[in-house]
Amino acid sequence: MFLFLAILGAVLLLVLIRLLPTMEGPPVPFRSQLQLLLHPVLLLTFSFTLFRKSGISMMNTYVSPYLFQVLHYSISETGLLMLVLGLIGVLGARLGGHAADKWGTRRIILVAFSKQKQAQIVSG
């Protein structure tokens, strides 16, 4: 399975390289690119993304054993549920992007966090 994923990733990388347009104009020096990464707003955004994704990764580490050992789901049910949760995450990201374009980023972030907090309160 891992070999299949590695091959698939390599094929997708080659497809991306072929499909991405070439950049026009003079190349941007590396120092200028690095300075852009150090912009305070981008640093805050990167930090937020890092902590959020780290939290999700840590949670996913415990979800499978919890489903299998505590809730007594079978291995296939646990795998299927993790797949469904991943697909829902992809769909949610897509819908969130469209919603942010339509209603504004600030409003969507506030709605998303309030819904997440409501779900945490309800689930105990």
Encoded tokens for 11 = 């094929």
Q: What is the pLDDT of residue 64?
A: 87
- Is the pLDDT confidence value at 124 over 80? no
pLDDT in tens, 34-89: 888 889 999 998 998 899 889 888 888 888 899 989 999 999 999 899 899 889 98
Q: What is the pLDDT of residue 2?
A: 80
Encoded tokens for 89 = 């995450």
Nearest-5° Cα angle at 77, 60 to 70? 65
**In angstroms, rounded to a whole number, what is the distance separating the alpha carbons of residues 21 and 28?**
16
pLDDT in tens, 90-101: 999 899 999 999
Compute the mean pLDDT over every residue in the chain, rounded to the nearest whole number.
89
Place of tokens 């054993």: 65
Q: Name, in order, each residue with C-beta under 8 angstroms of 63's C-beta and a sequence gap of 6 or more.
A: 82, 85
Encoded tokens for 41 = 């707003």
